[in-house]
Amino acid sequence: MSADSLPTRITIYPDPRLRRVCAPVEEFNERTAALAQRMLELMREGNGVGLAGPQAGICRRIFVANPTGEPGDDHVYINPELFDLTGSVEAEEGCLSLPDIRVNVRRARVCRIRAQDVDGKFFEQKAEGLLARIWQHETDHLDGRLIIDRMDSTDKIANRKKIAQLEADYAKHAKKSAKARR
């Protein structure tokens, strides 16, 4: 992947790439490091705390996270596996791929993650609170799940117009792109 092919923007719902189960990252090289860096930039540009591969248009098992916004707290997780999920807490979540949509989601309060860094080195961490929530949210993305899949009936009603608008905007953009290719 050259610098030219790095993601330029966040993928917005209902782009079908957001629904794909991602393949593992198999190569750990300069391109992987550049992708992780670009994903961190996109996450910051969107004022987010996490961003997964599909949100950058890349169907690979990689996500970035930063729960504080401080540059020293940037983290890259490649081929992550969550385990030891304990407790339960409900909180409101948003998503950079679903602008202006907020959903109450029940997640594990505490969890552990096993992943690889940009050099392919394995590591494990334990988190609770916001960081544990970010890990679970971004791992959902890697498995083709979105927060709208976790909506209760109240959230569905509250967000139906926003979701319909995202779908209409996507269809309009897809139609324009198809015309431009002719």
Catalytic residues: 138
- pTM attached to this predicted model: 0.93
Q: In 10 A of CB 124, how many CB atoms?
A: 11
List of domains in the chain: 3-181 (3.90.45.10)
Would you state the pLDDT for residue 7? Answer: 87
- How is residue 63 written in tokens? 């996500």
* Contact criterion met (CB below 8 Å) for 159 and 36: no
3-39: per-residue pLDDT in tens? 458 889 999 999 999 999 999 999 999 999 999 999 9
How many whole angstroms separate alpha carbon 47 and alpha carbon 8?
A: 16
pLDDT, average across residues 96-120: 96
pLDDT per position as a tens digit, 71-93: 899 999 999 999 999 999 999 99
Q: Are 25 and 60 in contact (CB under 8 A)?
A: yes
The pLDDT, as a whole number, for residue 4 is: 52
Percent of the chain topping pLDDT 90: 90
